[in-house]
Amino acid sequence: MHDQTVIQPILLKYGAQMDQKFCGCPFTPMLDDRRYGRMKQVRATGLQLFREENIPLQVREQEPVARYNEIIGGLTAHWEGQDKPYPQVVAQMDSPHREIREAAWRSVQQARRSIKDEVARIMDELVQLRHQIALNAGFDNYRDDVFCEKNREYTVADCYSFHQAVERYVIPAWDRLAKQLQQSLGIDSYHPWVTTPCTLSKPPFSTVEELMDGVETMLRCTAPDFGDKFAHMRAHGLLDLESRNGKAPGRFCDFFGYSKNTFVFANFSPSFFALIALIHKMGHAVNGYLQIRDEYEWTDLRAEVAELYSHGMELLCLDKLGEFYHDESSLKAAQREELHRSLNMLIGPLSGDIFQHWMYTHPSHTSAERDAKYFEIIQRFGGHPVDYRGLEEEASIGWIDSIHFIAFACAACLG
């Protein structure tokens, strides 16, 4: 926590002084807005929102986030008579066999329940800290503070319009796909472990080395420079991909300005999801290298824009999945699964966006109210066709293993 408790307060304080110097400089208005307009906007907003009294609150905000990372990093789930790292059991939910998916789903729910109270307390603490930060900055709630702080080019009303558009046009298509899958399987109830059309007979790789070999080839076939970047990262220890006990949770791509490199961190176990997730992260990484290559030192990597590169990379590599799936039937099944997940990306993150709008505009909510709201939202969107009878409690705590809600509050509607 040294970085958070010692370094971060210094950075926040001197960052504000740099913003003040930049905004007060008589030459700043002369900078070409086509090139520097975003920089001027970001620094002016940073200066406008800076409050000395928020520095200790922003430092305190990192403490529950660190506790959450420790909890999730040490989380295990019971599988085949053993306690396995949580991501390894989650990977079993990609199995083509329904009985395996159901067993994995139930094991994952049991693991979530074991940490539910701890994570709920962390979320309670974060909501209150963030609400106070917003009040100090002159806002009624943290949601509005974030929209200003991130210099968004869309409004809260735009988000609501997007929510309504997805509900009107995307959810009916999602329901039709669910109905087709249910009929093809000949089942009466569409349970949460049935929601993937995955018919892939086995994971696409056995080791992380196999995963990296195949993805490097896919990227090189897409663009030689993409493959070169991946090979460089691999050779210089910039890919930490294996799941192991005690490892911090989640997946991320970070940018090292001094060495001009990007770094990908993940917890991958053999699954189709891991394959797609690495391709996704390499979209971020390639974007990072393109940004770093620029002659100017300052960059503003907005989440909304960054996700275009990551999801775009998934689709650019769609026709290269034959590197892992060698027969026509498996290749088509993998491509269908990826397109199915792409449609879901219009639904899942949107549900999280609605959830956070509600959380931060209702800062006095209880843990039970939060769970109930989450369940209401998933029933309205991604879980609309799913039969949750008898599984309401499990479904209502589905938010607790999503690091986005904890560490990246209101990052982006489609982040």
Residue 214 has pLDDT above 80, yes or no: yes
At 78, which helix (H) or strand (E)?
strand 76-79
- pLDDT of amino acid 295: 61
pLDDT in tens, 358-387: 999 999 999 999 999 999 999 998 777 899
pLDDT average, residue stretch 295-319: 83
Q: What are the start-end ranges of the H helices in 74-139?
A: 86-90, 98-136
* DSSP reduced 3-state for 21: helix
Query: Would you place residue 412 in the very low, low, confident or very high pLDDT band (cuts 50, 70, 90)?
Result: low
d(CA 243, CA 227): 24
* pTM recorded for the entire structure: 0.86
pLDDT average, residue stretch 258-281: 92
| Torsion, Cα of 256, 126, 152, 49 (10° steps) | -90
What's the per-residue H, E or C state across 351-402? HHHHHHHHHHHCCCCCHHHHHHHHHHHHHHCCCCCCCCCCCHHHHHCCCCCC
- pLDDT of amino acid 87: 87
d(CA 79, CA 384): 29
What's the mean per-residue pLDDT of the chain? 91
Return the sign of the alpha-carbon dihedral for residues 249, 245, 282, 46: positive
Residue 302 has pLDDT above 80, yes or no: no
- pLDDT of amino acid 183: 86
pLDDT in tens, 138-185: 999 999 999 999 998 899 999 999 999 999 999 999 999 888 888 887
Q: Taking the domains of the chain in order of start, what are their residue ranges?
A: 1-50, 54-184+345-415, 208-324
Which amino acid, 210?
A: E
Phi, psi for residue 259 in degrees, rounded to 5: -85, -5
Query: Would you place residue 294 in the very low, low, confident or very high pLDDT band (cuts 50, 70, 90)?
Result: low
Q: Which of 127-136, 244-253, 270-279 has the highest mean pLDDT?
A: 127-136
pLDDT in tens, 87-128: 889 988 888 888 999 999 999 999 999 999 999 999 999 999
In angstroms, the Cα distances linking 236 to 67, 187, 217, 233, 264 are 30, 50, 18, 5, 12
- pLDDT of amino acid 79: 97
Pairing verdict, β 252-256 and 261-268: antiparallel
pLDDT average, residue stretch 15-29: 96
- pLDDT of amino acid 414: 44
Count of beta carbons in the 10 Å neighbourhood of residue 178? 18
More confident residue, 343 or 64: 64
Phi, psi for residue 302 in degrees, rounded to 5: -70, 140
**Are 128 and 363 spatial neighbours (Cβ–Cβ below 8 Å)?**
yes
Query: Would you place residue 269 in the very low, low, confident or very high pLDDT band (cuts 50, 70, 90)?
Result: confident
Q: In terms of C-beta density within 10 A (0-12 exposed, 13-18 middle, 19 or more buried), how is residue 136 classed?
A: middle
d(CA 303, CA 5): 26
Strand-pairing partners, residue 262, are: 255
* Residues contacting residue 147 through CB under 8 Å, at least 6 positions apart: 155, 156, 410
pLDDT average, residue stretch 345-363: 93
**Are 53 and 233 spatial neighbours (Cβ–Cβ below 8 Å)?**
no
**Nearest CA among 394, 357, 356 for reference residue 375:** 394
Residue 198 has pLDDT above 70, yes or no: no
What does the block give as tokens for 294? 């620029």
Instruction: Provide the percentage of residues in the chain whose pLDDT is more than 70.
Output: 96
- pLDDT of amino acid 77: 96
More confident residue, 319 or 301: 319
**Are 225 and 243 spatial neighbours (Cβ–Cβ below 8 Å)?**
no
Cα Rg of the chain, angstroms = 22
- pLDDT of amino acid 205: 92
